[in-house]
Structure 1
Amino acid sequence: MDPGPLIRLTIADCGAKVLQSAVQLDVFTALAAGPKDAAELAGAAGLHPRLAADFLDALAGLGLLIREDGRYRNSPLSDAYLVQGRDTYLGGFVDLTNETLYGTWGRLTEALRTGEPQHLDPDKGGFVGDRHADPEKMKRFLKGLDAFSDRMGAELAEAVDWSGYRSFVDLGGARGNLAAVLVDRHPHLDATCYDLPRTGPIFDEHISRLGRTGRVRFVGGDFFTDPIPQADVIVLGHILHGFDADQSRRLLRRVYQAVRPGGSVLIYDRMIDDARSNADRLLSSLHMRLVSRDGGEYRVADCRAWVAAAGFTDGGDRPLLGTHTLVIGSRPGGAQ
């Protein structure tokens, strides 16, 4: 039996680190204007000649660069998502994973033995998601998710018929990026971003930079204890995976009261397939369990059962972005 698959899995983090270093060194932006030879690219990215050739050829081997006649250019994938300044830039997310994943996953064995979450900085309580105490680090975290939320917002804008709705609330909407995309695609919508009060200044700064001040409003509060603003649609993206089943059911009961009759709840996460066979989804769930006491991804069937138990009519599920699942529930009554 060939042990190759096992060896490749064992060193999979090496390829990830090559990508992350290339983003940090801005290799792909350096090639945005056109191809460069090895010396030119090494100079532009500040690469030491001892490692440059292997590093650049490894990027080519990974499909991130294309090498032709001794010159390098971006692959279509890198050109689309790894050139700074473009709306589709995902480098912030690459930086985010580089900063957050290795510290926690390096303590996976300890977590498996103790069941305890492994924070990034255990001496200071660590942080989960955008709950970081440092506003600048919160900004870095949220910036890392912006390109993702741009894509999710664009897909959500097409996956749902918004013509019968007049308002929506993005629950846990952070600095309003997804809400801004939705109102761009559907200008008739009244948009609210609901998040913890300390997120307000970051929201104001970001929405102003996007030129959407007045188009998306911010309401601060805790959605377990404070009133949730009423709307035709409430969106819960990457929310329920932070809580256990009892907390999720409790939150969805509160959401039901906030959705107007005839309205809907939209839930998306990297939900686990009902057969629990998708390794990427299960790794995402394991990550949530590593960094939080109650979090973890959940099966699609579980989410649909929670939605129905809250009082919604089950509207089924569908894939989003190829990596996520959208579950829809409708509140009976009223007219859309």
Structure 2
Amino acid sequence: MGTGFWASKVLLAAVEFDLFTLLAERSPLTAGQLKQKLNLHCSDRNMYDFLDALAGFGFLSRQGILETATYANTTDTDLFLDLKKPTYVGGMLKMLNDRLYGFWGTLEEGLRTGKPQNEARHGGNLFDNIYQSPEQLENFVNAMSSIQVGAFMAFAEKFDFSKYKTLTDAGGCSGLLSILVARHQPHMSCVNMDLPGVTAIAEKTILKAGLSDRVKAVSGDFFNDAFPAADMVVMGNILHDWDEEQKIGLMRSAYAALPEGGVFVAIENVIDEDRKANVFGLLMSLNMLIETGTGFDYTMADFDRWARQVGFGSTSLLHLVGPTSAAIAMK
């Protein structure tokens, strides 16, 4: 565990170099060819170690050894880590490398002070800082899309949409969830709500998906503006950004936007009640300390308590994929 960052940094460096994109275009390649094309100036032995570690982890396939070795993508890396494929999930890995790797280096300070350790360390908040730069905002949106796509796809396929016709995704970022729901559920119409800078990105994504007739992007601040009325209100990795009072406030806004029989869904890394099985959920909760200072991930019992406080009736949990589930509350 203590040396775990060694392994993660090898992967993150490979993604930063777009190594897998290069190999998707032209492979197999030798270590020498890769070193030249990536403009790396380490020794040949360093390069062998780097590439063979990636092969040992299962990210590369290798034929031969040392100077006779050639390297190529595996099936998974070719599908998920080639920047030019629509299945690319490297956006989150690039953000981990560019932002969170350094910020997690001061986890101790975050635990000592309870203060965020990111761009907001000296004032403001995460979102104010990120939204100041169009490039940084786009990178953040790409990261959120890449870490959520598997869970959103599972939700679009597993959830029973037969009773519903309209959906509002509050804090919907690039519009990915709405796009996937509309694509898998032809009877559904969706509205993606986010701040103006993000809405401009969502509009392009929706247009590219060819779903502008059933997916709309609207601007709004979910702390100050009413949610667009819909049969369903969904939040993907939103509640965990905020403290308990703010979480309940957002759930109240969702409740107000729903008709009787409507449903609120929070897609998160819901922590198990014994707080020992979903370790990723616990780590994501610590990441909220790093990012926001007051946010945290939660158990289904927490969600149920908040939902009933707001006025929702029954609640349930739908496992989606990996550590991620949909916490569901019926009005």
TM-score normalised over the length of structure 2: 0.90
SS at the partner of 1:293? Answer: coil
Ranges in structure 2 where 5+ consecutive residues have no aligned partner = none
Q: Distance in 1 between matches of 2:156 and 2:209?
A: 18
Q: Distance in 2 between matches of 1:107 and 1:43?
A: 35
Aligned: 1:55 with 2:25:
no
**Which position in structure 1 is the counterpart of 2:288?**
288
More deviation, 129-138/74-83: 129-138
Q: Distance in 2 between matches of 1:48 and 1:204?
A: 42
Q: Distance in 2 between matches of 1:289 and 1:140?
A: 21
Q: Distance in 2 between matches of 1:126 and 1:113?
A: 19
2:182–2:211 contact (8 Å) kept in structure 1: no
Aligned: 1:21 with 2:13:
yes
Q: Distance in 2 between matches of 1:245 and 1:122?
A: 21
**Which position in structure 1 is the counterpart of 2:227?**
228
**Which position in structure 1 is the counterpart of 2:329?**
329
Q: Displacement, 1:64?
A: 1.0
Q: Which of 38, 61, 76 pairs up with 1:45? A: 38
1:291 counterpart letter in structure 2: E
2:114–2:294 contact (8 Å) kept in structure 1: no
1:128–1:291 contact (8 Å) kept in structure 2: no
**Does the C-alpha gap of structure 1 residues 141 and 130 become closer, same or farther in structure 2, counting only changes over 3 Å?**
farther
Q: Deviations over 1:1-22 (max 9, x none)?
A: xxxxxxxx22211111111111
Q: Write the mapping of 1:151-170 to structure 2, written as runs, cut at 5 A.
A: 151-170=150-169
Q: Deviations over 1:4-50 (max 9, x none)?
A: xxxxx222111111111111222212222442232233333333350
Q: Distance in 2 between matches of 1:163 and 1:309?
A: 27
More deviation, 302-311/171-180: 302-311
Q: Displacement, 1:302?
A: 0.5
Q: Distance in 2 between matches of 1:119 and 1:132?
A: 14
1:119–1:125 contact (8 Å) kept in structure 2: no
SS at the partner of 1:80? Answer: helix
Q: Deviations over 1:233-270 (max 9, x none)?
A: 11011111011222212221221121122221111111
**Which position in structure 1 is the counterpart of 2:3?**
11
1:130–1:141 contact (8 Å) kept in structure 2: no
Q: CA RMSD in A?
A: 2.1
1:43 counterpart letter in structure 2: Q
Q: Distance in 2 between matches of 1:305 and 1:126?
A: 28
What is the aligned-residue identity percentage?
Answer: 35
**Which position in structure 2 is the counterpart of 1:76?**
75
**Which position in structure 1 is the counterpart of 2:264?**
265
Q: Write the mapping of 1:132-143 to structure 2, written as runs, cut at 5 A.
A: 132-143=131-142
Q: Deviations over 1:59-82 (max 9, x none)?
A: 112221122222222223312211
Q: Deviations over 1:64-121 (max 9, x none)?
A: 1122222222223312211121121111111011112123211112222222222236
1:218 counterpart letter in structure 2: A
2:125–2:292 contact (8 Å) kept in structure 1: no
Ranges in structure 1 where 5+ consecutive residues have no aligned partner = 1-8, 332-336
Q: Displacement, 1:284?
A: 0.9
1:143 counterpart letter in structure 2: N
2:151–2:320 contact (8 Å) kept in structure 1: yes
Q: Deviations over 1:156-193 (max 9, x none)?
A: 11121112211000010012122111111112211101
Structure 1 segments (4+ residues) deviating >6 Å: none
TM-score normalised over the length of structure 1: 0.89
Q: Displacement, 1:210?
A: 3.1
- The number of aligned residues is 323
2:80–2:89 contact (8 Å) kept in structure 1: yes
1:56 counterpart letter in structure 2: L
Q: Displacement, 1:126?
A: 5.8
Q: Distance in 1 between matches of 2:128 and 2:182?
A: 25
Q: Write the mapping of 1:200-219 to structure 2, written as runs, cut at 5 A.
A: 200-219=199-218
Q: Displacement, 1:207?
A: 2.4
**Does the C-alpha gap of structure 1 residues 259 and 42 become closer, same or farther in structure 2, counting only changes over 3 Å?**
same
